[in-house]
Structure 1
Amino acid sequence: MSTLFTKIIAGDIPGRFVWADDVAVAFGTIAPITDGHMLVVPRAEIVQLTEAPDDVLAHLMVVARTIGQAQQRAWSAPRAALLVAGFEVDHLHLHVLPAWGEAELSFRNARTDVPAAELDAAASRVREALVAQGDGAHVPATMTSPAL
Structure 2
Amino acid sequence: MASIFTKIVNGEIPCYKIAEDENFLAFLDVNPNAKGHALCIPKQEINKIFDMEEDLYMGLMAFSRKVAKALEKTIECKRIGVAVVGLEVPHVHVHLIPLQDMDDMRFQRKVTLKTEEFEDIANRIAKNM
Instruction: Give TM-score, length-normalised by structure 1.
Output: 0.81
Cα shift at 1:6: 0.6
Cα shift at 1:103: 2.9
**Over residues 79-125 of structure 1, what are the superposed CA-to-partner deviations in whole Å (9 max), with x where a residue is unaligned?**
111111111110000001222332321111233x4221111111112
Cα distance change on mapping 1:88 and 1:103 into 2, 3 Å = same
Question: Aligned ranges for residues 58-69 of structure 1 at < 5 Å?
Answer: 58-69=58-69
RMSD: 1.3
Q: Secondary structure in 2 aligned to 1:108?
A: coil
Question: Aligned ranges for residues 42-61 of structure 1 at < 5 Å?
Answer: 42-61=42-61
Q: Is the 8 A contact 2:6 2:45 kept in 1?
A: yes
Cα distance change on mapping 1:122 and 1:69 into 2, 3 Å = same
Task: Give the structure 2 partner of residue 129 of structure 1.
Answer: 128
Task: Give the structure 2 partner of residue 84 of structure 1.
Answer: 84
Instruction: Give TM-score, length-normalised by structure 2.
Output: 0.93
Cα shift at 1:53: 1.2
Task: Give the structure 1 partner of residue 119 of structure 2.
Answer: 120
Q: Is the 8 A contact 2:97 2:104 kept in 1?
A: no
Q: Is the 8 A contact 1:71 1:77 kept in 2?
A: no
Which amino acid letter does the alignment assign opposite residue 95 of structure 2? H
Structure 1: state its 5+ residue gaps. Answer: 131-148
Q: Secondary structure in 1 aligned to 2:108?
A: helix
**Over residues 44-102 of structure 1, what are the superposed CA-to-partner deviations in whole Å (9 max), with x where a residue is unaligned?**
11001121111111111111111111111112323111111111110000001222332
Question: Aligned ranges for residues 10-25 of structure 1 at < 5 Å?
Answer: 10-25=10-25
Q: Output the CA distance in 1 between the equivalents of 2:101 and 2:70.
A: 18
Q: Is the 8 A contact 1:79 1:99 kept in 2?
A: yes
